[in-house]
Chains A and B, each alone.
Chain A
Amino acid sequence: MKNFFRKKGVRVAIVLVAVLAVILVSALIMDSGANVADGSVRTLTGPAEKALTWVVRQLEHVYGYMFKYDQLVEENEQLRAKILEMQDEVRKSESTNEENALLRQLLKLSEVRPELDFEMASITSWSASTWSSSFVINRGSRAGIELYDCVVTETGCLVGQVVAVTGTTATVRTLVDSSTSIGAYIGRTGISAVAEGDYDTMHEGVLKLSYLPDGALVYNGDTVLTSGSGEVFPPDIVIGEITAMKVDEGGFTEYGIIEPAVQLSTLTHVFVIKDFTYTTDTSELPEDSELPGEGGEPGEGEELPEASALPEEG
């Protein structure tokens, strides 16, 4: 060895210097911070390192399985419970959002109609009867609901009337039911009439506007509202709009067909008017107040819908 360094010392030193120079130059050329030596070493040792890392991880798994299994199971159960709890919260918040939207709409109505006292209710089931149109709600006399209370949507459209009450439920007969009879008037002209249901119209989901005065001009699209006569329904609740005029079988009496403003098939929540101050004086209402769905007097330049006072069928 001594002789080797004596004889070859200079050569070895030169080779070492050359190798170091190459390393330094390569480090300067490559900005990545690595050099040829690093790259070479890592290329050579990489697979081995990977293999060792894999082995270590497997050992960790085995260790974890042996000594941390119970802890992991417990943690897993906790996480599952937390996920379920969060899912439940999301569902509740969706339901709350829906309810909030309805209540916001109702707030607008309450501002326009401060004399009405509302109670929100959900529809629990529809009647299975072919001969009537009614549903059951989840509020009853304990919530202050009484027989013959008026039921509306969040936008103030008429839904029906309470016809039976228990402590926790109430049966609501819808406005298209065959036994419906409501004092009504046409919003545009103020002509009074009676909105009533019968077996023919009930199955079509509409109701009739009967007892119109002779020569009354009624147009398609005219809004029909409750008149408040009889003090059962509050005045100015939107019933629907006229879609056709017909003549009865005798050929003497003309009546209108009212398409209800409410879509009964999509109803999930309703509002029961528990109390209202009976007044037909609309001057108390704010000037800019406009009832939802009300047609009102057509403005200047606004075209009336096609007149349909002439009978459509004989």
Chain B
Amino acid sequence: MGKGTAKRIISHAIIVIVAYLLQAAFFSGLKVGGAAPLILPLVAVGIGLFDGGLWGGIWGVVCGLLCDVSLTDSGTLFTIFLAIAGFFTGFLSEFVLARGFPSFFTVSTVTLVLSALLQMAGPFFYRGAPFSALWKPALIQTVYSALFILPVYYPIHRATRSTRRVRI
């Protein structure tokens, strides 16, 4: 393993751990309208966007696992979803997406909306919860989580700066 790879793994691990602690221990007690923010999905797609599909997938699994641990009610939903999201974002960044803030913002927003929809699916389809009771917390969760797009962007952007490939 090269020095650059080791440095990249360490810096990503620090970002993931900080994001996990913020999501699980800090913002879980600061719910707005009963909704808590999701920060780890932003980290997964961020790493995917700047480091490519392979790293996006790997860190997506890690972020998803930690996300499921912090949520306690999602089973393995986020482990699977964030692995796919991280990989797919990396895949898109190879061909379609520019590696900058507008792309990160777009991908993050889509991921947050999909996260909320997936979380709503269980109560809606399997437990018969009315949509009217679900959309509001889902919206609050998405907006609350979106506030962290910018704070998450800078550390990931900086951590991947040295390893980012220049695209022609």
- Judge whether B23 and A128 touch: CB under 8 Å: yes
Q: Quick one: which of B70, B134, B140 contacts A128, CB cutoff 8 A?
A: B70
Write the B22-35 contact mask toward A (1 if CB under 8 angstroms, else 0).
01110111010111
Most chain-B CB neighbours within 10 Å: which of A125, A136, A198, A199? A199
- B residues in contact with A212, CB < 8 Å: none
Q: Does residue A227 face the partner (Cβ distance < 8 Å to B)?
A: no
Q: Quick one: which of A125, A129, A198, A204 contacts B25, CB cutoff 8 A?
A: A125
Number of A residues with CB within 8 Å of any CB on chain B: 20
Chain B's nearest CB lies how many Å from the CB of A193? 20
Q: Does residue B100 face the partner (Cβ distance < 8 Å to A)?
A: no
Chain A's nearest CB lies how many Å from the CB of B133? 4
- Judge whether B127 and A131 touch: CB under 8 Å: no
- Judge whether A134 and B73 touch: CB under 8 Å: yes
- A residues in contact with B31, CB < 8 Å: 130
CA distance A128 to B133 in the complex (A): 19
Q: Quick one: which of B25, B27, B130, B137 contacts A203, CB cutoff 8 A?
A: B137
- Judge whether A129 and B137 touch: CB under 8 Å: no
Q: Which of B135-149 contact A (CB under 8 A)?
A: 137-138, 140-141
- Judge whether A199 and B137 touch: CB under 8 Å: yes
CA distance A203 to B127 in the complex (A): 17
- Judge whether B24 and A199 touch: CB under 8 Å: no
Beyond A178-B129, A199-B134, whether A126 also contacts B73 by CB under 8 A is no
CA distance A132 to B134 in the complex (A): 12
Q: Quick one: which of A136, A179, A202 contacts B127, CB cutoff 8 A?
A: A179
- Judge whether B129 and A134 touch: CB under 8 Å: no
Q: Does residue A210 face the partner (Cβ distance < 8 Å to B)?
A: no
Q: Does residue A127 face the partner (Cβ distance < 8 Å to B)?
A: yes
Write the A186-209 contact mask toward B (1 if CB under 8 angstroms, else 0).
000000000000111011100000
20 further A-B pairs in the complex, CB-CB below 8 A; given A129-B72, A199-B134: A125-B28, A126-B28, A126-B29, A127-B70, A128-B24, A128-B28, A128-B36, A129-B71, A129-B119, A130-B31, A130-B36, A130-B138, A130-B141, A131-B137, A132-B73, A199-B123, A199-B129, A202-B34, A203-B34, A203-B137
Interchain residue pairs with CB less than 8 A apart (19): A125-B28, A127-B71, A127-B72, A128-B27, A128-B71, A129-B73, A129-B74, A129-B119, A130-B31, A130-B119, A130-B141, A131-B73, A132-B73, A134-B72, A136-B72, A164-B72, A198-B133, A199-B130, A203-B34
Which residues does B use to contact A, with CB under 8 Å?
23-25, 27-29, 31, 33-36, 38, 70-74, 119-120, 122-123, 127, 129-130, 133-134, 137-138, 140-141
